[in-house]
Homo-oligomer: A and B are copies of this chain.
Amino acid sequence: MGNDKKLVEAITSMEEDFAQWYTDVVKKAELVQYSSIKGCMIIRPNGYAIWECIQKELDSRFKETGVENVYMPMFIPESLLQKEKDHVEGFAPEVAWVTQGGLEPLSERLCVRPTSETLFCDFYKDIIQSYRDLPKCYNQWCSVVRWEKTTRPFLRSMEFLWQEGHTVHATAEDAEERTVQMLNVYADFCEQVLAIPMIKGRKTEKEKFAGALATYTIEALMHDGKALQSGTSHNFGDGFAKAFGIQYTDKENKLQYAYQTSWGLSTRIIGAIIMVHGDNSGLVLPPRIAPVQGMIVPIAQHKEGVLDAAFALQDRLLKAGFRVKTDDSDKTPGWKFAEQEIKGIPVRIELGPKDIEAGQAVIVRRDTRDKITVPLEAIETELERILSQMQSDMLERARKHRDSHTFEARSYEEFKDIIANKPGFVKAMWCEDQECELKIKEDTTATSRCMPFEQEKISDVCVCCGKPAKKLVYWGKAY
């Protein structure tokens, strides 16, 4: 992209066409570039830096709970994938197959991992013998491949980056505890760092992971009222252990099957950041996850002392632990402002000759555009206060948006009306019969997002069939 095109006007407004707005933001903020491999994306420096911040934050939260990182092969022999019946049925239709290695055809096809349960199980069966070897809490950061027909940057692509944790425990209770623990790690991270409030709940039988006993999920609401499944945590019970023969001798020297979990969060979450916080000027990054938190923009930078003052300020702020840069390019200030806005940098710090004379700088918030004049001598404290205010305002705004787009339906007519006319979550009671779930999907395209941990009883009967209700469910159209 040349430097001579107008940047801001190139973004379609989200009210006009939300899908196009998303694509524009992803491209103009230089997060992603399409590659010549259909369905695969190139993650550019601006996008990858966000992923690095996510990795750093999540990885240290994982390690605090005793998780260790490993690396497993990217290939799975066909026979290994087939060991757990439900699992292979869920994944085989969407994997890529390697059939030739070097110049020779392979005697057994290898699939490129769509997820690594089977590899971890094969590994765990070899290294676990005794109760002393438990628990094992391993995780890997890697890419996986799923052969998707329709793809969108971050939201759905043939190859994506993620982490997948796989744990083994002595008891069913330990496995359940770990499953919920990791879901909470995800939810806390999303709220505290990404400023995205999450609904925590359990997936229905229909929506659970292939091979799992129970799948827990965090669900977020995007600006257009669609839901995004943002992370999942699965309790496998002893199903995989029985399929793969993962057994240990307990303290009484008796052979027992082990219990397992897995949990994953992917680059998809970057799509959530864009669609929860972005606006018609581009990306808006929460300060805690922004690779660059502040862009210093010198005003009239040709004047003596301005650039020096800008770089001196940068040094001070870097030393205080802020992630800041200075834009000393030969572009106009207006141009620099537009670029900072498109890229979602939380604040810009304007510094011109008059500011320097007055011993001040002007901090402009990306989300509200508030201009705050602060004394240079106290800029560290002021910047900290502004960023932290912005972080909590963004969470609050996202929460308000979600709550004001969460509806309750007590009759099927009401349910269909809301889905058709009011984008958002619909809370409604359900009888737990899969027939109703399928009917709702067919009639409205809405799917069950989760049975929230915080159950309420808003009616006695299923919103679809009128039989006695068993669960409150969040429903919605989803990415």
Contacts and interface: CB of A to CB of B under 8 A. Distances in A.
Contacts of A123: 33, 35, 42
B97 A99 contact: yes
Given A95-B102, A98-B98, A101-B96, A71 B161 contact: yes
B97 A36 contact: no
A42 B127 CA distance: 12
B103 A93 contact: yes
B102 A93 contact: yes
A189 interface: no
B130 A77 contact: no
A43 B68 contact: no
Given A93-B103, A142-B143, A147-B102, A159 B73 contact: yes
Contacts of A321: none
Report, nearest first, the 4 A-B pairs whose CB atoms are least far apart: A40-B73, A45-B68, A102-B147, A97-B100
A70 interface: yes
Interface in A37-52: 37, 40-45, 48-49, 51-52
A70 B44 contact: yes
Majority SS at the chain A contact face: mixed
Nearest to A68: B45
Contacts of A360: none
Nearest to A145: B74
A52 B72 contact: no
Interface string A122-135: 11001101101000
Nearest to A102: B147
Give the number of copies in the complex: 2
B42 A73 contact: yes
Contacts of A74: 74, 112, 143, 145, 159
Interface of A: 1-3, 33, 35-37, 40-45, 48-49, 51-52, 68-77, 80, 93-103, 109-110, 112, 119, 122-123, 126-127, 129-130, 132, 138, 142-143, 145, 147, 158-159, 161
A76 to B, nearest CB: 8
Nearest to A36: B122
Given A97-B99, A102-B147, A147-B102, A77 B129 contact: no
A45 B97 CA distance: 29
Contact of A36 (B52, B77, B95, B98): B77
Given A1-B129, A33-B123, A35-B123, 6 more contacts: A36-B122, A37-B77, A42-B119, A45-B68, A74-B74, A97-B101
B96 A100 contact: yes
Contacts of A145: 74
